A and B are shown apart, each in its own frame.
Chain A
Amino acid sequence: MAFVNWLKRNLVVIAGLVTLGYLLLPNVVVTVFSFNQPKGRFNYEWQQFSTAAWQDPCGVADMCGSLSVSLQIALWATVGATLLGTMIAFALVRYRFRARGAVNSLIFMPMAMPEVVMAASLLTLFLNMGAQLGFWTILIAHIMFCLSFVVTAVKARVMSMDPRLEQAAQDLYAGPLQTFLRVTLPIAAPGIAAGALLAFALSFDDFIITNFNAGSTVTFPMFVWGSAQRGTPVQINVIGTAMFLVAVLLVLASMVVSNRRNRQKA
């Protein structure tokens, strides 16, 4: 009876943990199979423990090249989308202007559109213009779909900002540029950083839009997609595992640092 009561009280916790397990199971499989030594071309069945792939992560033709293409595109897309998106966010929060509703819906639409529709329509534009598909068309597309997410992230932060801080700075004879650089920007920085991180993650992992507009350029997701047809090298799992570990370590480190800072303040 006590057990049944305990179960009743904790049912939601158990169900939640089961879902969490469902979310994490593929990552466990990816990690375990990065130590596999598959027999055929595909790495779907467990054969034998081996660290060969970890010792030679770039041992597969073209994989590390595609990784560097992805990093370059993600970097430039982040710079572009963060710059344009932050400007739009400031305009939306700080100024009154006409066509505000239209601007808002233009920013919302890309987030509510299935990726395949954006990808296909952008391809018709590039085909009609006779544009050469490749690095630049991918970059253009990535800045386009990352932009809205940056605007949303930065807007949330700037909206919660106390406008009196800027007024105070101006009362203390700070010019507009000085106020912006020394008061507004530092306060908005976490929002801008969050937007930039989101843009980087979205761009780096994008497949559908890239698939349509890449031409013969191969990004890392494109490489993985191709290998699902030709044969999956173990090195893919090595990269996947390494990215997961680096991300989790970075997040944990930032949490420790902010905890320590908070404790020092208190």
Chain B
Amino acid sequence: MATLTEAPPPLTPTAPEETPPRKRGRLVPYWLLLPGILWLLIFFALPMIYQASTSVQTGSLEEGYKVTWHLSTYWDALSEYYPQFLRSVLYAGSATVLCLILGYPLAYLIAFRAGRWRNLIMILVIAPFFTSFLIRTLAWKTILADGGPVVGALNTLHVLDVTSWLGMTSGDRVLATPLAVVCGLTYNFLPFMVLPLYTSLERIDVRLHEAAGDLYAKPVTTFRRVTFPLSMPGVVSGTLLTFIPAAGDYVNADLLGSTDTRMVGNVIQTQFLRILDYPTAAALSFILMAAILIMVTLYIRKSGTEDLV
């Protein structure tokens, strides 16, 4: 910039003049990156290190904590809270499967069958986001209330007998059971499944469907052999976007569940904010992070779509 306003000195060769702006140009990307990357390093990466260090400290609030490499905190945390860990995986897994089953038809509808209603349906999928998710989760307390129409209908259709047998509900109640928590998780993360599914379905050339039909494939075969494989990127990113936040969630388990449905997020929250046992809480959070990283890596390897996420 300065070079543009300054008059070029007469009778000097141009070469030395060209070098300084170029050098400055080479630094431009680093200056652009610096503030944002520093922010992430200090407030995202550094905390992970602090957390790891907290998890191997011993001490008390009054006397302060010291790093003592007290690794048995991990062992104690795991042996005491493995039911909550298992529950997190189970509930988040069920919610992810339900999201896929419920979300696929909706994404398919928007991508291929909605016609001029496409934009309106898209708005309706996104619009709930604008009401605080806590308020919407509380609404499920009303919907699933004891003796309400939903529970009544599930009872008449004997759905509750099946879920009771599976251990998902007990008696005539839905609220404060695992079913209510899974239902809330499914509801809260459903848009995160629908949107990536829609994106990958929308890219599919409709002529491929016609071609499959011309080659005497039944609609079911077309779906199984053409549409579904082509939508795999959406399936993979949708399941990740649902499973990861659902596994760490504690809002649904707290609002819709009971003390028997506590997930690992609930334990981390109470240990950190109420019991103030920082080493145990940090260890639990660290285990959760490691478990999710391992599961996600394996899953991405297995589905062979490493460049997707």
| Residue of B37, B124, B134, B268 touching A116 (CB-CB under 8 A) | B268
Known contacts A106-B40, A113-B289, A125-B46; is-contact A221 B134 (Cβ 8 Å):
yes
**Beta-carbon contacts under 8 Å, B4-39 to A:** 4, 28-30, 32-33, 35-37, 39
| B32 pairs with A205, CB closer than 8 A | no
Check: A95 CB closer than 8 A to any chain B CB. yes
| Residue of A114, A144, A212 touching B44 (CB-CB under 8 A) | A144
Residue of A nearest to B296 (CB): A112
Check: A49 CB closer than 8 A to any chain B CB. no
**Beta-carbon contacts under 8 Å, A208-249 to B:** 208, 211-212, 220-221, 224-225, 228, 232, 236-237, 239-241, 243-244, 246-248
CA distance A262 to B102 in the complex (A): 35
B255 proximity list for chain A (CB < 8 A):
228
Check: B47 CB closer than 8 A to any chain A CB. yes
Check: B238 CB closer than 8 A to any chain A CB. no
Known contacts A123-B272, A124-B282, A255-B119; is-contact A141 B132 (Cβ 8 Å):
no
CA distance A33 to B141 in the complex (A): 12
| Residue of B127, B131, B132 touching A251 (CB-CB under 8 A) | B127
Interface size on A, residues (CB 8 A): 85
Check: A181 CB closer than 8 A to any chain B CB. no
Known contacts A26-B136, A240-B131; is-contact A211 B190 (Cβ 8 Å):
no
| Residue of B30, B37, B50, B124 touching A106 (CB-CB under 8 A) | B37
| A27 pairs with B131, CB closer than 8 A | yes
Known contacts A109-B44, A112-B309, A124-B51; is-contact A33 B273 (Cβ 8 Å):
no
CA distance A239 to B268 in the complex (A): 30
CA distance A144 to B42 in the complex (A): 9
Stretch of B75-83, B164-172, B207-215, B244-252 contacting A (4+ beta carbons < 8 Å)? B244-252
Q: How far is the CB of B298 from chain A (nearest CB, A)?
A: 14
| A45 pairs with B142, CB closer than 8 A | yes
Check: A115 CB closer than 8 A to any chain B CB. yes
| B129 pairs with A124, CB closer than 8 A | no
| B248 pairs with A114, CB closer than 8 A | yes
| Residue of A13, A84, A91, A116 touching B285 (CB-CB under 8 A) | A116
CA distance A45 to B148 in the complex (A): 10
Check: B204 CB closer than 8 A to any chain A CB. no
| A114 pairs with B288, CB closer than 8 A | yes
A91 proximity list for chain B (CB < 8 A):
28-30, 32-33
CA distance A144 to B48 in the complex (A): 14
CA distance A114 to B140 in the complex (A): 23
Check: A266 CB closer than 8 A to any chain B CB. no
| B145 pairs with A44, CB closer than 8 A | yes
Known contacts A26-B139, A30-B135, A95-B28; is-contact A121 B285 (Cβ 8 Å):
yes
| B51 pairs with A121, CB closer than 8 A | yes
**Beta-carbon contacts under 8 Å, B235-279 to A:** 240, 244-245, 247-251, 255, 265, 268-269, 272-273, 278
CA distance A95 to B137 in the complex (A): 44
Q: How far is the CB of B109 from chain A (nearest CB, A)?
A: 3
| B121 pairs with A95, CB closer than 8 A | no
As a 0/1 sequence over residues 72 to 106 of chain A, the CB contacts with chain B under 8 angstroms (1 = contact) are 00000000000011011011001111000001001
| A27 pairs with B142, CB closer than 8 A | no
| B131 pairs with A30, CB closer than 8 A | yes
| A29 pairs with B187, CB closer than 8 A | no
B121 proximity list for chain A (CB < 8 A):
20
As a 0/1 sequence over residues 75 to 96 of chain B, the CB contacts with chain A under 8 angstroms (1 = contact) are 0000000000000000000000
CA distance A58 to B1 in the complex (A): 53
| A23 pairs with B123, CB closer than 8 A | no
| B105 pairs with A19, CB closer than 8 A | yes
As a 0/1 sequence over residues 278 to 309 of chain B, the CB contacts with chain A under 8 angstroms (1 = contact) are 10011001001100100010000000000001
Check: A169 CB closer than 8 A to any chain B CB. no
| B187 pairs with A26, CB closer than 8 A | yes
CA distance A99 to B272 in the complex (A): 35
CA distance A116 to B85 in the complex (A): 14
As a 0/1 sequence over residues 17 to 29 of chain A, the CB contacts with chain B under 8 angstroms (1 = contact) are 1111011111101
Other A-B pairs, 15, CB within 8 Å; known A144-B40, A221-B132: A16-B113, A45-B142, A91-B29, A95-B29, A97-B29, A116-B248, A118-B47, A120-B281, A121-B47, A125-B50, A177-B1, A212-B273, A221-B134, A243-B132, A255-B119
Which 8 pairs of residues, A with B, have the shortest CB-CB distance?
A114-B248, A16-B109, A95-B29, A247-B130, A15-B105, A84-B36, A121-B47, A91-B32
Query: Would you list 21 pairs from A and B whose C-beta atoms are within 8 A, ordered by A residue?
Result: A12-B108, A23-B124, A26-B143, A30-B135, A84-B36, A95-B29, A106-B37, A113-B289, A113-B292, A116-B250, A117-B285, A118-B47, A124-B47, A125-B47, A147-B40, A208-B249, A212-B273, A220-B132, A224-B134, A232-B138, A240-B136
